Structure 1
Amino acid sequence: MASDLMRTARDTGPRPAGTPKAARAAWVLLGLNVLGSAGAQTIFPIPRSLIQMVTMGSLVAAFTLALAVNVGLRIRASSFLFLLTLLLVPSLISSVSLEAGFGALFRCGRLMLFVATLWLLSRWWDGGLGFVRTHIRMYFVVLMSVVAGLAISPGAAMPDLYGGRLVGALWPLTPPQIGQYTAVIIGLAVLLALGRRTGWRAAMVVVVPSLALLLLSHTRTATVGMLVALVLAIGSLLLTSAAARRFFTWAVVGGTVAAVVFASALQAWFLRGQSTEYLTSLTGRATVWDALLDAPRTLTERLFGTGLSDKSFGGLPIDNSWLAVYDEQGLVGTAVVAAMFLILGGVALLRPPSLQRACAIFLISYVGISSYTEAGLGDASAYLLHLALAASLLAAPSGDTHLPTPAVPRRHVPRWARRLT
């Protein structure tokens, strides 16, 4: 697309060749696979078996499409993908015992196919922004389905079961999922605007409705994670970008004024009607965490876990990626996941300042913060897809795929749909 080649006068360096549409479609199918099948009651009841058929079918389709577009099996070396593949070892060792049931083997197969698809797509991991734009568009479409559900049936979209928090009324999405998707695309859209890969008018088309949905979802972890990750990402651009310095200054001033003027409203939103004692116990999560850590385990279970499950313990959600990985893949799996963050973080720190590096820092930081109250780092999930996107941004450009870059006047602002897709 011509819009994918949009650059500013200051951005005159070589640009990697565009990502094929089939590869971007495979990425979208991976995103569909990790949307999940459990959530709120939808306006039109959808059998869970049908949802699982759609999500699993999308994974098979993603692998098939990636294989078709990369029939030569050309891949790029990636420490992140190597570690993700290594994570399959404790997953298989713990799952073959069937302690977690046959579902553990099914989840292992799903993770294997997920990782294999990422390996096939790694051919186009060249530090370009093609997958970033696809990521934004994909989750923006998902969020528009949430908006449609809210418009059709506000009661179903904000049920009492979830304390009046926004859920997916057309597709079963939980408030934390909505918070996660909104936080990620807000951060990426802001960074693209700061890097002049899109205009602020276009970015606001994504940011404003997403911010409204984030507030309606009352997701504290996503909000805090987004703000901290954006500070770190923009901070990485301060020395080289005047736009980043101006935005950071105005954001600090505006945030301080808003915190003073709307202090009581912000406190009420953050507490969500809960007591401070309940909040300090992380809304009851600490009870599950303590029980998980105190449970007796054999040496094999400590090393390799009990097998991939539904991320629950004693019938209650674990809601912590590190404890979930420890429970399912043991200390070995926990060490592998920690190595992923160390490798990605280390590479990001060693890269020179750039928009790609800032986007990667944002994604790594956001996933790291969210991992404290959300599970998903040990299995096929949106969090692993975010980290895969960060890995693609940190990859060195291919030496034989550079194209000349046309300069575009700074004042030129094309339509938003052609700049964020």
Structure 2
Amino acid sequence: MPAETAGEHTPKLVGVAWGLLILNTLGSAGAQTIIPLPRSLIQMVTMGSLVAAFVVAVAVNPRLRLRPSALLLLLTLLLVPSVIASANLEAGFGALFRCGRFALFVATLWLLSRWWNGDLTFVRSHIRMYFAVLGSVAAGLLLSPGAAMPDLYGGRLVGALWPLTPPQIGQYAAVIIGLTVLLLLGRRTDRASAAVIIVPSLFLLALTHTRTATLGLLIGLLVAIGSLVMTSAAARRFFAWAVLVAAVAAVAFGSLLQAWFLRGQTQEYFTSLTGRAKVWDALLAAPRTASEQLFGVGLGDKSYGGLPIDNSWLAVYHEQGLTGIVLVSAFIAVLGGVALLRQPSLSRACALFLISYCAIASYTEAGLGDASPYLLHLALAASLLAAPAVPAPAAPSPLPYAPRRRVPRWARGSEVS
């Protein structure tokens, strides 16, 4: 379908639909909340938000004008092994329900792709919505510190008003910190507004003790700012100051940083990635049929033997097989390749940050093969890498009548009748 012109105004309902997609991916499992919320109610809210996002997307794009996207094409193809494996009902009827959810999620992204033109509209919606989620986490911490930092999670910060786990909170905080820093460097926001986002988000990230989110933030910013160093003096200054501060912190607070990083775990438990390696070994050692190797066992809850897989690649292999691994690898490679080929810009830097963060987090977090925040981060990166649509040249309008040759007044008397 034809893309819209680059100067088209993005309706506010587009941001509403994006926010509803974020609400859908918050999940329904997590810590105990101050006011107990039935899981059925939480699932009703999250699934209802996805349906509402699709309805809003259709309402704002009734002619179904879409923007070509390699990411969305590959996600659509990823539905094929998901449905083939889920149809066997090895993972139960819930697998088919998850396929329907994934299809609706991808369809909504297709409808919103009409406004993917490389600008920062979706970045701002992304930051606002996740900051609102973090606001609920901070409110829960103020209302009930004990419920927000329970012993069950080793004193790490959880969602006390909405069931959110420490890795989720760490992910949301890290992503909006990185994007806000880049907006500040690109002079798309002022220091006061950036501080309102960055300072409390850093505080919440520290309370989660989430190593993956912290490493993803640091490495993602390193890649993104590195892409701006040659063209931005502000990026060069920030890079120099960041290296200096990191060196001073490593010397002055090395023992504290090490204690925060280890979270009181033994060296053996830390090297086994908090017990994840045992689940991974068991998953890889399990016998599989040829069909299961090719298409997986169907969309599930990203667990094996009752324990979370916590690795996107193994989760995709388990649920969507080698076909899913190929498709996920393809869209990561395509996004990374397009980002590297783009000219240095703020949009490119934001996209590189998101791609780098998702690639790092995929090692200890699941979500690249199903509707998840990680796919929303990558969809945001795809919107930033989309080239602005070039308006079609206006066709010359035909003259309504043939012009008449005017005769000078002095010559009118000499005309032959």
Shared fold (TM-score greater than 0.5)?
A: yes
CA distance in 2, matches of 1:200, 1:347: 31
Residue 180 of structure 1 aligns with an amino acid whose one-letter code is: Q
Q: Give 1:99's aligned residue.
A: 90
Tell me how far 1:400 sits from its aligned partner: 2.9
Q: Which residues of 2 match residues 14-413 of structure 1 at below 5 A?
A: 16-400=7-391
Residues 15 and 128, structure 1, Cα contact 8 Å, conserved in 2: no
Instruction: Deviation per CA, 1:10-35: give whole Å up to 9, x if none.
Output: xxxx9744421011100000000000
The CA distance in 2 between the partners of 1:136 and 1:177, in whole Å, is 15
* TM-score normalised by structure 2 residue count: 0.92
Q: Which amino acid aligns with 1:155?
A: G
CA distance in 2, matches of 1:254, 1:19: 40
Could you give the per-residue CA deviations for residues 250-286 of structure 1, whole angstroms, max 9, x where no partner exists?
Answer: 0000111011100000000000000111111101000
Aligned residues of 2:352 and 2:381 also touching (Cα < 8 A): yes
**1:418 equivalent in structure 2:** none
Alpha-carbon distance in 2 for matches of 1:106, 1:118 = 19
State whether residues 16 and 126 of structure 1, in contact with CA within 8 Å, keep that contact through their aligned partners in structure 2.
Answer: no
CA distance in 2, matches of 1:323, 1:18: 41
1:200 CA drift (Å): 1.9
**What TM-score, normalized by structure 1, do the two folds share?**
0.91
Q: What's 1:414 paired with?
A: none
Amino acid aligned to 1:173: L
CA distance in structure 2 between the aligned counterparts of 1:16 and 1:243, rounded to whole angstroms: 28
1:204 CA drift (Å): 1.0
- Aligned residue number for residue 11 of structure 1: none
- Structure showing greater relative contact order (alpha-carbon pairs closer than 8 Å, 6 or more residues apart): 1
- The residue identity in structure 2 corresponding to 1:386 is H
Distance in 2, Cα, partners of 1:137 & 1:398: 26
The gaps in structure 1 that reach 5 residues or longer are 1-13, 402-421
Amino acid across the alignment from 1:395: A
Q: Deviations over 1:159-183 (max 9, x none)?
A: 0000000000000000000000000
Distance in 1 of aligned mates of 2:149 and 2:66: 44
The AA in structure 1 aligned to 2:215 is: V
> In 1, distance between residues paired with 2:8 and 2:353?
24
Aligned-pair Cα RMSD in Å: 1.0
* Counterparts of 1:93 and 1:260, CA distance in 2: 54
Distance of 1:326 and 1:320 partners within structure 2: 10
Distance in 1 between residues matched to 2:347 and 2:250, nearest whole Å: 31
Deviations 1:51-101 (A, max 9, x none): 000000000000000001000100000001000101000000000000000
CA separation in 2, counterparts of 1:259 and 1:91?
46
**What is the Cα deviation at residue 289 of structure 1?**
0.1
TM-aligned CA distance change 1:261 to 1:18, over 3 Å: farther
Task: Give % identity.
Answer: 74
Question: Take 1:400 and 1:282, find their aligned partners in 2: how far apart are those partners?
Answer: 52
The Cα of 1:372 is off from its aligned counterpart by 0.2
Do the aligned residues in 1 keep the contact of 2:6 with 2:390 (CA within 8 Å)?
no
CA contact (8 A) 1:303 1:329 kept: yes
**Given that residues 16 and 128 in structure 1 are in contact (C-alpha distance below 8 angstroms), is that contact kept between their aligned partners in structure 2?**
no
Gaps (5+ residues) in structure 2?
393-417
After TM superposition, give the deviation of residue 199 of structure 1 in Å. Answer: 1.2
Conserved in 2, the CA contact under 8 Å of 1:76 and 1:122?
yes
Cα deviation, 1:327-347, whole Å, max 9, x if unaligned, reads 000000011000011000000
Q: Distance in 1 between matches of 2:13 and 2:278?
A: 46
Measure how far apart 1:398 and its partner are. 1.6
* Whole-angstrom CA distance in 1 between matches of 2:247 and 2:87: 54
Amino acid paired to 1:96: A
Give the 5 Å matches for 1:3-14. none
Question: How far, CA to CA, are the matches of 1:25 and 1:171 in structure 2?
Answer: 20
Residue 22 of structure 1 contacts residue 69 of structure 1 at CA under 8 Å; is this kept in 2? yes
How many residues get paired?
388
The residue matched to 1:380 in structure 2 has which SS?
coil
**Cα separation, 1, equivalents of 2:237 and 2:192:** 17
Q: Distance in 1 between matches of 2:340 and 2:8?
A: 25
Larger radius of gyration: 2
Kindly provide the amino acid, as one letter, of the partner of residue 221 in structure 1.
T
How far, CA to CA, are the matches of 2:17 and 2:228 in structure 1?
Answer: 31
2:331 is aligned with what amino acid?
Answer: M
Instruction: Measure, in 2, the Cα distance between the counterparts of 1:149 and 1:15.
Output: 42
